[in-house]
Amino acid sequence: MLQIGDKMPDFNLLGVWGKMRNNYEYADKYALAIIFTCNSNKYSQAYSERLIKLFDQYEEDNFAIIGINSNDDSQSPEDTMEMMVKAAYHYKLHERNFLYVKDDTQEVAKTFGASYNPEVFLFNSKRELVYKGAIDDAWENETVVTQAYLEDAVEYCLDGIDVDFPEVPVTFGEPIIWKPGNEPEYAKMKS
C-alpha cells in the first residue's frame, strides 16, 4: 500500500489498443496521475469528462494520465476489454496520449493500495507519490465543485511545490470489484 513519498511501482498492462503499456512511457512527464477507474459505476462515468478536460488542460505542461481498470470483468461485464475499447473511442482517447489499461490480475491495484473507482495516485517528476485520494468534492455536478483536489495537486506538482493536502479520502466512488478470494485485507477494512 503506497504512502506519500513512496516511489511508483512498475507495471506493464494491456492497453485498449491491444499493446502492452507501462509507466516508463511517461518517464519525461513532470506529473503523472494513475487513476483506478472503470466503465461500470456512476462515479467513474461522471468523472470521465472532467479527467479528459484536466488532461487536455495540462498536457502541454508535461502532465499525463493512465487510467487503470482493475474490476473483475466476470462479475462486471461492462469492464471487459471490449467495453473498455468502446469507452476509449467514446472519449476519443485515440486522439490523445491518454492510456486506459486493464489490470486483469488486480496485482497493480493491490500494490498501489487502491480500493475505489475512481481513486487517484499522483506522482511528481521523480515518480514519488505526492497526492492520493479523491478527484474533487462534487461528483454529480462539476459546476458546484469547491475543492478540485486533483487539479490543485497537479498545479502544485507542475510548479515543483509540495502538495499541502497530500491525502483526501475517497468519498465518491464504489469499491473495486475483486475476484473471489482476491480482495486484500486493507480493502476489507474499508468496506
pLDDT tens digit sequence for 12-42: 999 999 999 999 999 999 999 999 999 999 9
Local confidence band at 120 (pLDDT 50, 70, 90 cut-offs): very high
Q: Which domains does the chain have, with CATH numbers?
A: 12-190 (3.40.30.10)
Instruction: Kindly state the percentage of the chain with pLDDT values over 90.
Output: 82
Q: What is the pLDDT of residues 5-16, one digit of tens each?
A: 999 999 999 999
Question: Cell 506529473 belongs to which residue?
Answer: 31
With 0.75 as the threshold, say if the pTM is over it. Answer: yes
CB atoms within 10 A of CB 100: 24
Three-class SS of residue 116? strand
Residue 17 contacts residue 55 (beta carbons within 8 Å):
no
Q: What is the mean pLDDT of residues 110-118?
A: 97
